[in-house]
């Protein structure tokens, strides 16, 4: 840490967040000789894996690639117990990373960034927090995450309920006593589906309040067999290489066939093959799933059939079948047991479209059709995704320009990495980058490496400021929208569009043109003297 007495900022870089993104960023910048500090709202490292401790929390990408690639030694030494690891193991991994690379002493924990103001004269950011002294930094790097700002649901009369209320993304660290209880859950997105499957056999009664049915895909989770671990270790270089060049940041080949080019028998055989592979591989069955309504419908019909075969009560099966969106165009939850859970005697499904919530009493949730007695209510109601964490902070750039105002009608950024009017601010997996539609650790490493290269270049040139130009930023923002518009995503209502937050401008916040293409574009920008940016 430098003295701030002579207009020099205290740090070269301050990184906000200490999850997957923040930990790697802090490590990388420090390794390159920058003075760097981390700020973290939570009491320890982990980011989403620190907060989302609900039963059944698990990653939806397999752990051998939902992990860092930057250290051969780390990669060699860490063994995953499950193919899709659960939250406690992922959190242990991130703690191991923090210790192994000695990051913890450089992070200020339990500290929330309230404001970040840029000073044009000195070319530095001044950061102030909910407590503790302010900091100054040349560069501000957001590693605040895409799904970290909880969206408090507007549910009529919730304050009248006197039982326990839990949110999946703010789960108590010492767990929740659910055994034998009458538990209700609102929300059937990825978090709700995982928690429902995990607690159904543990609680006395489970009432699932569903507003929108989702397509749930199995992952066929199980132990990472020793032979598979050995195979992964032997092929890690190729696996990682594939991640960095693929469409989704995952090591799978692109689809070979378009569904609409194939006869029905062959389509079904391919769907069965990819269903057996499970997880996001399922969406690699055909190349036209996300672009042709008829192709998507082939896949929907296959999953509909599975739901009807699995859920014994036909009325419940029909309620669980999505009616309002193409498969994959809302984030598909992934779970092996979800549909089977509804065959249990102690589980019931309530359709909130047919009987909306009208209020609560001290011990019941009341719908238009009746009362449901509950001891505990779990809210799995999601996040103000992609932009929420950034806009929760008072960020002001050049001339006091407020990010909230600049993004009032939707996010604008160049490559999801930086924003015009906000010099020396970098976003890791920011709005309009591939972010949540790429494997996050891969997307994070690609972004941090790009930022690190950029900071080295600025240091070498003795430059003070970098900032996107407005024109290229508008071009990128429009391009992201155009690419999404050419897919079936355009028809969906989801947090990808901000549709879950009342008043949020409708904008597809993720680049769906392919992670590999995106990484190429970032490389080209750097190689062409940071084309699209201005450097002072
Ligand atoms: P999601 O995917 O946003 O799911 C939230 C769920 O909560 C979804 O089923 C919503 O129904 C439901 N919801 C939200 N507000 C209400 C109200 N007021 N009443 C009834 N139901 C409501 O969040 P998750 O935490 O599951 O997943 C987020 C991501 O985190 C996930 O994709 C992973 O990447 C990790 P709706 O569909 O809006 O009708």
pLDDT tens digit sequence for 385-396: 999 999 999 999
How do residues 309-323 score in pLDDT, each as one tens digit? 999 999 999 999 999
pLDDT score of 474 more than 90: yes
- Terminal CA-CA length for the chain: 24
With 90 as the cut, is the pLDDT of residue 195 above it? Answer: yes
- For the chain, the structural domain boundaries read 11-149+384-535
**Ligand 1 near 212 CB (within 6 A):** yes
Mutate to test the pocket of ligand 1, among 191, 219, 504 (most ligand atoms within 8 A of CB): 191
Q: How close is the Cα of 35 to the center of ligand 1, in Å? A: 39
Regarding the beta carbon of 331 and ligand 1, being less than 6 Å apart is answered yes
The rounded distance, in Å, linking the Cα atoms of 521 and 529 is 13
C-alpha 119 to ligand 1 mean position (Å)? 39
Please indicate whether residue 328, judged by its CB atom, sits closer than 6 Å to ligand 1: no
Residue nearest atom 20 in ligand 1 by C-alpha distance: 211
- What's the rounded mean pLDDT across residues 81-110? 98
Are 75 and 67 contacting, i.e. CB atoms less than 8 angstroms apart? yes
For residues 195-214, average pLDDT: 98
Q: What percent of the chain has pLDDT over 70?
A: 99
Q: Which atom of ligand 1 is nearest to the CA of 190?
A: 26
Going by C-beta distance under 8 Å and a sequence separation of 6 or more, which residues neighbour residue 65?
Answer: 239, 240, 243, 250, 251, 439, 441, 442
Are 208 and 348 spatial neighbours (Cβ–Cβ below 8 Å)?
Answer: yes
Query: Directed axis angle between helix 20-31 and helix 440-461, to 10°?
Result: 30
Q: What percent of the chain has pLDDT over 90?
A: 97
The answer to whether residue 484 scores a pLDDT higher than 50 is yes
Task: Examine the pLDDT at 172 and tell me if it is beyond 80.
Answer: yes
Rounded to 10 degrees, the C-alpha dihedral 93/99/103/106 comes to 120
Q: Rounded mean pLDDT of 82-107?
A: 98
153 lines ligand 1 (CB under 6 A): yes
Q: 60 C-alpha to center of ligand 1: Å?
A: 16
For strand 182-186 and strand 205-210, is the pairing parallel, antiparallel, or unpaired? Answer: parallel
Res. 4: pLDDT tops 90: no
Please give the average per-residue pLDDT across 77-103, as a whole number: 97
pLDDT at 119 over 60: yes
Q: What is the pLDDT of residue 495?
A: 96
| Helices and strands counted in the chain (H then E) | 15, 18
Q: What's 137-170 look like in SS3? A: EEEEEECCCCCCCECCCCCCCHHHCCCEEEEHHH
Say how many Å lie between the CA of residue 44 and the centre of ligand 1: 26
Ligand 1 atom at shortest distance from the alpha carbon of 379? 7
pLDDT recorded at residue 152: 83
What pLDDT sits at residue 7?
Answer: 63
CA distance 18 to 23: 5
Give distance in angstroms: CA of 300 to centre of ligand 1: 21
**50 vs 32: CA distance, rounded Å:** 27
Q: Is the pLDDT of residue 3 over 60?
A: no
CATH number at 11-149+384-535: 3.50.50.60
Per residue in 428-450, pLDDT (tens digit) is: 999 999 999 999 999 999 999 99
pLDDT, tens digit, for every residue of 141-152? 999 999 999 998
Residue 426 half-sphere exposure toward CB, CA atoms < 13 A: 29
Q: Rounded to an integer, what distance in angstroms lies between the CA atom of residue 500 and that of residue 385?
A: 9
- Is the pLDDT assigned to residue 2 strictly greater than 60? no
Q: Is the CB of 382 under 6 A from ligand 1?
A: yes
Per-chain mean pLDDT for the chain: 97
Residue nearest to atom 27 of ligand 1 (CA): 190
Residue 82, pLDDT score: 97
Q: Quick check: 460 pLDDT over 70? A: yes
Q: Is 19's C-beta closer than 6 angstroms to any atom of ligand 1?
A: no
What per-residue confidence (pLDDT) applies to 454?
Answer: 98
With 60 as the cut, is the pLDDT of residue 499 above it? yes
SS3 14: strand
Given a cut of 90, whether residue 169 has pLDDT beyond it is yes
> Given a cut of 80, is residue 5 above it in pLDDT?
no
Shortest-distance atom of ligand 1 to CA 382: 23
For ligand 1, atom 10, the nearest C-alpha belongs to 187
- 211 CA: nearest ligand 1 atom: 39
Find the mean pLDDT for residues 351-360.
97
Beta bridge partners of 125: 118, 137
Ligand 1 atom at minimal distance to the Cα of residue 495: 3
For residue 333, give the ligand 1 atom closest to its CA: 32
- For residues 141 and 523, give the distance between their C-alpha atoms in angstroms, rounded to a whole number: 19
For residue range 62-74, what is the model confidence (pLDDT) as tens digits? 999 999 999 999 9
Nearest CA to ligand 1 atom 12: 187
């Amino acid at each position: 840490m430098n003295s701030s007495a002579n207009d020099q900022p205290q740090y070269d870089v301050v990184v906000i967040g200490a999850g997957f993104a923040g930990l790697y960023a802090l490590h990388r910048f420090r390794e390159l000789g920058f003075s760097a500090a981390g700020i973290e709202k939570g009491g320890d490292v982990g980011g989403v894996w620190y907060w989302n401790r609900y039963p059944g929390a698990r990653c939806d990408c397999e752990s051998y690639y939902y992990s860092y690639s930057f250290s051969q030694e780390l990669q060699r030494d860490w063994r995953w117990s499950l193919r899709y690891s659960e939250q406690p193991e992922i959190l242990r991994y991130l703690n191991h990373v923090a210790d192994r690379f000695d990051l913890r002493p450089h992070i200020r924990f339990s500290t929330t960034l309230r404001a970040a103001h840029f000073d044009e004269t000195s070319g530095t950011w001044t950061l102030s927090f909910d407590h503790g002294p302010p900091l100054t930094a040349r560069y501000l790097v957001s590693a605040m995450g895409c799904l970290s700002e909880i969206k408090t649901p507007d549910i009529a009369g919730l304050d009248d309920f006197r039982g326990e209320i839990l949110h999946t993304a703010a789960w108590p660290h010492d767990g929740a006593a659910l055994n034998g209880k009458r538990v209700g859950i609102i929300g059937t997105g990825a978090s709700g589906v995982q928690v429902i499957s995990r607690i159904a056999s543990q609680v006395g009664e489970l009432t699932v309040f569903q507003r929108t049915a989702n397509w749930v895909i199995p992952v066929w989770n199980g132990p990472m067999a020793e032979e598979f671990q050995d195979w992964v270790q032997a092929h890690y270089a190729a696996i990682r290489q594939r991640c960095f060049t693929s469409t989704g940041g995952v090591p799978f080949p692109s689809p070979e066939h378009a569904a609409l080019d194939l006869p029905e028998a062959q389509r079904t055989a391919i769907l069965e093959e990819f269903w057996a592979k499970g997880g996001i591989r399922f969406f690699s069955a055909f190349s036209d799933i996300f672009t042709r309504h008829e192709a998507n419908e082939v896949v929907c019909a296959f999953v509909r059939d599975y739901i009807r075969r699995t859920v014994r009560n036909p009325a419940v099966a029909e309620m669980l079948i999505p009616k309002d969106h193409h498969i994959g165009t809302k984030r598909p939850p992934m779970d092996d047991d979800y549909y089977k859970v509804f065959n249990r005697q102690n589980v019931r499904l309530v359709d909130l479209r047919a009987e909306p919530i009208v209020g609560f009493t001290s011990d019941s949730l009341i719908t238009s059709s009746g009362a449901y007695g509950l001891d505990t209510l779990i809210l799995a109601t999601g996040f103000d995704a992609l932009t929420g964490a950034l806009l929760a902070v008072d960020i002001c750039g050049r001339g006091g320009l407020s990010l909230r105002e600049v993004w009032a009608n939707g996010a604008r950024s160049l490559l999801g990495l930086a924003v015009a009017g906000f010099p020396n601010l970098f976003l890791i997996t920011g709005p309009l980058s591939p972010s949540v539609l790429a494997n996050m650790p891969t997307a994070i490493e690609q972004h941090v490496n790009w930022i690190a290269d950029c900071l080295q270049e600025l240091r070498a040139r003795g430059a003070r400021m970098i900032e996107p130009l407005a024109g290229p930023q508008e071009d990128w923002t429009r391009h992201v929208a155009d690419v999404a518009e050419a897919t079936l995503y355009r028809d969906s209502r989801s947090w990808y569009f901000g549709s879950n937050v009342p008043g949020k401008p409708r904008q597809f916040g993720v680049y769906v043109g392919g992670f590999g293409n995106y990484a190429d574009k970032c490389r080209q920008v750097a190689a062409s003297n940071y084309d699209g940016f201005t450097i002072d």
